[in-house]
Amino acid sequence: MSSSISVPGSALTPFALVKHLENKILIDGKLTAPKSQKTFPVHNPATMDVIGQAVEANHEDVNAAVENAQKAQKEWRHMDASKRGHLVSKCGDLLDEYADELARLMTLETGKALRTESQVEAKIFANTFRFYGGLGLELKGETIPFSDSMLTLTIREPLGVVGAIIAWNVPLLLMSLKVAPALVAGNTIVVKSAEEAPFAVLRAAEIMNTILPPGVLNMISGDGPTTGEALVRHPQISKVTFTGSVETGKTIYKNSSEKLIPVTLELGGKSPMIVCEDVDLKETVKGALASMRFTRQGQSCTAASRIFVHESIFDRFLEKMKEELNNLKIGDPMDLETDVGAIISPAQHGKVLDYIEIGKSAPGATAHECSTLPDDAKLSKGLFVRPVIFTGLPNSHQVCQEEIFGPVTALIPWKDFDDVIAQANDSGYGLAATLWTNNLNRALQGVHQLEAGFVQVNQNVVVQPGLSYGGVKSSGVGKEASLEAMLEHFTHKKTILFNMG
Ligand code: NAI
Ligand code: MG
């Protein structure tokens, strides 16, 4: 490590780090024992071994975290915005030094493959802090020509203490999308991690707390109904930001409405990918694998889980896609040769298998199951699933309408462009969409007509700092990842009039 900052527990293996972190929450700048006596086990999804115990924070713990954040807010909000940004950038640089350690820890608790997923995410994670760190001076207001004898202006102020509730699929990325803009804008924050993945984010918070003033960033763990609800309902929480399921998003929206506080919700998706007949087949099939996030076991809210392929290239597309999927190695997530890891939990694993059975039982449907399950004895209890491509399912089928959050996609043939756009839009969700064509007119027509918050032509990049990200319809409320997200969702504008007359 080149950094001169001393991080407790440096250079530990993921297992030793879990020992260092278990039974702890992070309040007032340090890892601390909770008031709650309750804990829950965290598993390695690749083996189903228990790796450690996490805290189920109770009301007292939530209160302590929020009170500390509230106390820290008094100074943090008055620090120069550029200085807050500088500290957040420094966090990004330090987290980058710890990227490999964080990636390994995240792989241990989530079962995501280290090379294809966790290492990539840990880098974007660090970069998100660097990106927002540079935006302190963008917290600008306006002057308004209201009257010659008055100076009339707006200034942006922080909202107060933010409550952030995150999911397990990309825990580090989700943490950064909430913490970085909240802090640069002058808020302090309490994050509740997901039950399945509490350790990598706790470690990241510990690392960041070697730089941030105590109380600015607090991290607790626990379940939704106990810890999550207590955080959302806490009277001192003045903003909630959430990523997870539509159902939980609605509950959080309702609970927040009782306090009339602003809420950002990043929810699910059933994102379409439309492939026209003029594409480069090989590149587009690669794009389909990336868009569907097969290397993340399909556990992505933007997963291209409905792939509409022009009928003239449908058979070739299917064959090529099967060939590419067969080349992916499913195995030990920690092994750098592995492309695809395990599903997060028995509940999610069961849900995915149920959907595969539902699809298989539809008349005329075929499930093309690809690649092979690992035969390593130590992975025999692991939650692995072979990637599946369904053909013969209409867009109206349950498998094409409900979010599966697993490595399951449906290939649907089309021949009329207006009709395929209508099918793509025939969904309760509207998070992301991709369109693959070399025809400029079609591309322009498509990007205007697709009902989604994030639309890409001939590519599919994951969330990137700087690009506003967020859905329409059931996919959510608000934007993340951009300057706009920080200004609109983590500040309010105060209007000020000076009478100089
Ligand atoms: P979930 O939405 O229930 O959990 C996400 C987070 O919300 C966790 O931290 C959980 O503890 C918390 N939570 C749950 N109930 C709460 C409440 N009443 N108040 C406050 N916080 C609460 O998602 P879950 O159960 O992990 O996954 C179920 C489905 O949700 C998945 O199959 C998938 O379809 C979808 N999902 C979507 C994600 C996305 O990226 N948009 C991420 C994770 C899941
Ligand atoms: Mg749930």
Model confidence at 223, in pLDDT bands (50, 70, 90)? very high
When pLDDT is averaged across residues 352-379 and rounded to a whole number, the result is 98
Closest CA to 338 of 115, 177, 178, 137: 115
pLDDT score for 500? 76
pLDDT tens column, 235-277: 999 999 999 999 999 999 999 999 999 999 999 999 999 999 9
Q: Ligand 1 atom 42: the closest Cα is on which residue?
A: 244
pLDDT tens column, 384-411: 999 999 999 999 999 999 999 999 999 9
Check which CATH number belongs to the domain holding 376 and give it.
Answer: 3.40.309.10
Active-site option among 67, 206, 229, 266 = 266
Same domain, 437 and 382: yes
Whether 500 is covered by a domain: the verdict is no
pLDDT score for 4? 64
Same domain, 291 and 220: no
Same domain, 415 and 290: yes
pLDDT score for 6? 82
* Pocket perturbation via mutation, ligand 1, pick of 121, 248, 263, 462 by most ligand atoms within 8 A of CB: 248
Mean pLDDT of the chain: 97
Same domain, 435 and 403: yes
Known catalytic residue: 301?
yes
Same domain, 52 and 103: yes
What is the pTM for the complete model shown? Answer: 0.98
When pLDDT is averaged across residues 464-480 and rounded to a whole number, the result is 96
Whether 483 is covered by a domain: the verdict is no
Q: What is the number of structural domains in the chain?
A: 2
Same domain, 160 and 296: no
CB 74 within 8 A of CB 161: no
Question: Above 60 in pLDDT, residue 3?
Answer: no
Same domain, 241 and 277: no
Whether 497 is covered by a domain: the verdict is no
Rg (CA), the chain: 23
Residues with CB under 6 A from ligand 1: 165-167, 169, 192, 194-195, 223-225, 228-229, 232, 243-245, 248, 251-252, 266-268, 301, 348, 351, 403, 405
Question: Above 80 in pLDDT, residue 108?
Answer: yes
Whether 481 is covered by a domain: the verdict is no
pLDDT tens column, 302-330: 999 999 999 999 999 999 999 999 999 99
Same domain, 257 and 281: no
Whether 8 is covered by a domain: the verdict is no
Whether 478 is covered by a domain: the verdict is no
Whether 104 is covered by a domain: the verdict is yes
Same domain, 205 and 292: no
3 state SS for 179-229: HHHHHHCCCEEEEECCCCCCHHHHHHHHHHCCCCCCCCEEEECCCHHHHHH
Q: Which of 204, 232, 267 is a domain's end point?
A: 267
Using the mean position of ligand 2's atoms as its centre, give its distance from the Cα of residue 94 in Å. 33
Which atom of ligand 1 is found nearest the CA of 404? 34
Identity of residue 129: F
Same domain, 192 and 332: no
pLDDT tens column, 404-435: 999 999 999 999 999 999 999 999 999 999 99
Beta-sheet strands, E only, within 282-352: 306-310
What is the SS3 assignment for 409?
A: strand
Q: Which of 248, 267, 286 is a domain's end point?
A: 267
High-pLDDT (> 90) share of the chain, %: 97
Helix axes 199-208, 81-97, angle to 10 degrees: 130
State CA 241 to chain mean position distance: 12
pLDDT score for 144? 97
Active-site option among 276, 301, 370, 400 = 301
Same domain, 395 and 433: yes
Whether 109 is covered by a domain: the verdict is yes
Same domain, 248 and 365: no
Question: Above 90 in pLDDT, residue 501?
Answer: no
Q: Would strands 388-391 and 272-275 be described as parallel, antiparallel, or unpaired?
A: unpaired
Known catalytic residue: 266?
yes
11 or 150, which is more confident?
Answer: 150
pLDDT score for 9? 85
Check which CATH number belongs to the domain holding 77 and give it.
Answer: 3.40.605.10
293 contact partners, CB below 8 Å, separation of at least 6? 299, 300, 302, 303
Residues spanned by the domain of 195: 14-267
* Pocket perturbation via mutation, ligand 1, pick of 165, 177, 263 by most ligand atoms within 8 A of CB: 165
